[in-house]
Structure 1
Amino acid sequence: MKKLLSPLFLGITAIAFIIISCAKSDDAPIYDAAAQFKTDSVALKNYVSQKYPDAQYNSETGIWYKILAEGTGNYQYKIVDTLNAKAFKVNPTVKYTGRLLNGSIFDQTETDKTASFELLTNTGYNYPFESTLIPAWTFAFAPKKIGDVDLGGLTEKGLQKGAKIHIMAPSKFCYGNRAVGPIPANSPLDFVIEVVDIK
């Protein structure tokens, strides 16, 4: 009898858990990316007008930015083919600071240290497909165009060695509706990125 009740009890428990889980998910709000982008746009416009009124606006992405230093490098961004998609690839070394719009720092390179990574991204306004970086960084690094391929970058030549850029991006091009460590879901973010080297 005990052997028969254990599987029966487990089965009933599992069914109850599924019903409760379904009920909770039906009550969960549906994420509306367009509505969130509008909310972020208002928040960023207010933030920029109060703190950085000379920042420029990229209407294709909703990213605000300011070039703090042009850089002296002459890196040539190139298009690479990756299974029928066009992409660009870059290996920068940077110093950076990331902030929430309330001013709190959520990440930064340590004093006298740098961070290096590989950025491989598809073209246009879609999310990168092989990158550990958020899309906002892709737009910061990418040139506007390479040949006749529109990359949607913020600058003509892309970031060069010695360049320093301040970007303020909507959550769509940051972590979206995911909370990541100290970053709440749906957070527009503020970054200052200094390019120590690029290859």
Structure 2
Amino acid sequence: MNKFLSPLFLGIVALALLNVVSCNKNDDIPIYNATEQFKTDSVLLKNYVDSWFPDAQYDAETGIWYEMLATGTGNYNYKIVDTLNAKHLKFSPTVKYVGKLLNGNIFDQTEAGKTSTFNIRTNTGYQYPFDSTIIPAWTFAFAPKRIGDMKLGGLTEKGLQKGSKIHIVVPSRWAHGSLAMGKIPANSPLDFVIEVVDIK
């Protein structure tokens, strides 16, 4: 009887230990909490802005800090395009930009003397507008606060115009979130200067 119980007992103990080890391995994997990360980012951004950009304004709805460096002379009128399935904000800006991490490292920028053009189609059916070709922070920078009765959540009343130049400092939730992208680590707030060369 003892010979039978001994291996059985050892097997049960081994399974229990394996379960504990498995649980510990799972416990080592951090669970992404967007709300907690946003709180962490908010503190980082406030300290960063206080140190480097004291004239920046805070948008309480998005947590984005921004400063208009030039308002622009264009008179582009943003429009909502109604399709069969959804309403979209469509526009094509041509820009020069620099994107930095908060440590000052540049992770992306337009080449000297060149521009980048984006064809943006943003679904307006959600609480905040999103587009797969740009990060949400750029949509907030470009879009007006509202078009008619539709609230878009943009940072400025008219949206960015030709000749506009804006400096935005954004929490990671409106950038790449918990994903690492090339030179951008996961959970990184980002700093952009965007100059609008043209918009159609």
Judge same fold: TM > 0.5, yes or no. Answer: yes
For 1:21 and 1:95, how far apart are their aligned partners in 2? Answer: 50
Matched residue, 1:105: 106
Q: Structure 1 residues 22 and 127 mapped into 2: Cα distance closer, same or farther (>3 Å)?
A: farther
Q: Deviations over 1:126-154 (max 9, x none)?
A: 351x4310000000000001011000000
TM-score in terms of structure 1 length: 0.85
Q: What SS is found at the alignment partner of 1:48?
A: helix
Structure 2 Cα separation of the partners of residues 179 and 139 of structure 1? 22
Uncovered stretches (5+) of structure 2, i.e. residues with no partner: 1-18
TM-score by length of 2: 0.84
Contact 2:135 2:175 in 1 (8 A): yes
The answer to whether 1:176 aligns with 2:177 is: yes
Q: Which amino acid aligns with 1:197?
A: D
Residue in 1 that maps onto 2:67: 66
Q: Distance in 1 between matches of 2:191 and 2:157?
A: 21
For residues 43 and 73 of structure 2, the distance between their equivalents in structure 1, rounded to whole angstroms, comes to 35
Letter aligned with residue 143 of structure 2: A
Where in structure 1 are there 5+ consecutive unaligned residues? 1-18
1:128-139 equivalent positions in 2, closer than 5 A:
128=130, 130-139=131-140
Q: In percent, how many aligned pairs have the same letter?
A: 70
1:171–1:189 Cα contact (<8 Å) kept: yes
* Contact 1:118 1:131 survives alignment (8 Å): no
Q: CA RMSD in A?
A: 1.9
State the 4+ residue runs in structure 1 displaced beyond 6 angstroms: 19-23
Matching residue of 2:3: none
Please tell me the residue identity of whatever aligns with 1:126: Y
Shift of residue 85, structure 1, vs aligned partner: 3.1
Count residues with an aligned counterpart.
180
SS in 2 for 1:38: helix
3-state SS, counterpart of residue 39 of structure 1: helix
Partner of 2:40, secondary structure, is: helix
The match for 1:28 is 29
Q: Partner residue of 2:9?
A: none
